[in-house]
Structure 1
Amino acid sequence: MSFFMRPARADDLQTLYEMAKLTGGGFTNLPADRGALAAKLERTGQALARQSEGLEDELIVMVLENGATGQVRGTCQIHAVVGRNWPFYSYRLGVLTQHSRELSRTFRAEMLSLVTDLEGATEVGGLFLHPRERAEGLGLLLARSRYLYIRNHRSRFGDRVIAELRGVIDEAGGSPFWDGLAGRFFGMSFQEADEFNAVHGNQFIADLMPKTPIYTAMLSDTARAVIGLPHPNGRAAMRMLETEGFTSPGYIDIFDGGPTMVGQTNSLRTVADAQDVALSAIHSEGGKKMLVAAGRLGSYRCAYGFIDQDEDGSVSLDRASAAILGIEPGDTFTMAART
Structure 2
Amino acid sequence: MLVVRPSNFVDLTSIERLLNATDARVTTLPKDRDKLSEKIGQSDDAFKTGVDQEGPASFLFVLEDTDNQTLMGTSGIDTEAGGGYPFFNYRIDAVVHASHHLDVSSKVPVLFLSHELTGKTLLRSFSIDPEHKNSDAFDLLSRARLLFMACLPERFHREVIIEIQGIFDDKGECPFWDAVGRHFFGIDFNTADYYCSVKSKTFMSELIPQHPIYVPLLPEVAQGNIGQNHEAANRACQLFYREGFSKTVFIDPFDGGPVLTGELNNLFTLKQVRHKKARPSDVVGGLKYLISNRSLSDFRCTIGTLVDGIGETIRIPENVAEALNVKEGDPIAYAPL
How would you bin the TM-score normalised by the shorter chain?
over 0.9
Q: How far 1:193 moved relative to its partner?
A: 1.5
Q: How far 1:124 moved relative to its partner?
A: 0.5
Look up the equivalent residue of 1:292 and give its one-letter code. I
Deviates more, 1:190-199 or 1:23-32: 23-32
Task: Kindly provide the CA deviation profile for residues 295-331 of structure 1, in whole angstroms up to 9, marking residues without a partner as x.
Answer: 3222100011111234567521111111111222322
5 Å matches for 1:141-180? 141-180=140-179
1:220 match: 219
Look up the equivalent residue of 2:60 and give its one-letter code. V
1:103 match: 102
Look up the equivalent residue of 1:38 and give its one-letter code. S
SS state at 1:283 partner:
coil
Residues 1:195 and 2:212 are matched in the alignment: no
Structure 1 gap segments, 5+ residues each: none
Q: 1:97 to 1:143 in 2, by over 3 A?
A: same
1:77 match: 76
Deviates more, 1:299-308 or 1:76-85: 76-85
2:237 match: 238
1:11 match: 10
Structure 2 gap segments, 5+ residues each: none
**Aligned partners of 2:292 and 2:333 also within 8 Å:** yes
Task: Kindly provide the CA deviation profile for residues 225-253 of structure 1, in whole angstroms up to 9, marking residues without a partner as x.
Answer: 11111111012211211111111121001
**Aligned partners of 1:275 and 1:334 also within 8 Å:** yes
**Aligned partners of 1:76 and 1:125 also within 8 Å:** yes
Q: 1:60 to 1:51 in 2, by over 3 A?
A: closer
Percent identity between matched residues is 28
CA RMSD across the alignment: 1.7
2:320 match: 321
Q: How far 1:58 moved relative to its partner?
A: 1.2
TM value normalised by structure 2: 0.95
**Aligned partners of 1:74 and 1:142 also within 8 Å:** yes
2:130 match: 131
**Aligned partners of 2:283 and 2:315 also within 8 Å:** no
Look up the equivalent residue of 2:49 and give its one-letter code. R
SS state at 2:307 partner:
strand
Task: Kindly provide the CA deviation profile for residues 135-177 of structure 1, in whole angstroms up to 9, marking residues without a partner as x.
Answer: 4311110110011111111121111111101110024311111
For 2:187 and 2:101, locate their aligned partners in 1 and report how far apart those are by CA, in whole Å. 44
Deviates more, 1:60-69 or 1:306-315: 306-315
For 2:51 and 2:333, locate their aligned partners in 1 and report how far apart those are by CA, in whole Å. 22
Q: How far 1:210 moved relative to its partner?
A: 0.8
For 1:221 and 1:281, locate their aligned partners in 2 and report how far apart those are by CA, in whole Å. 59
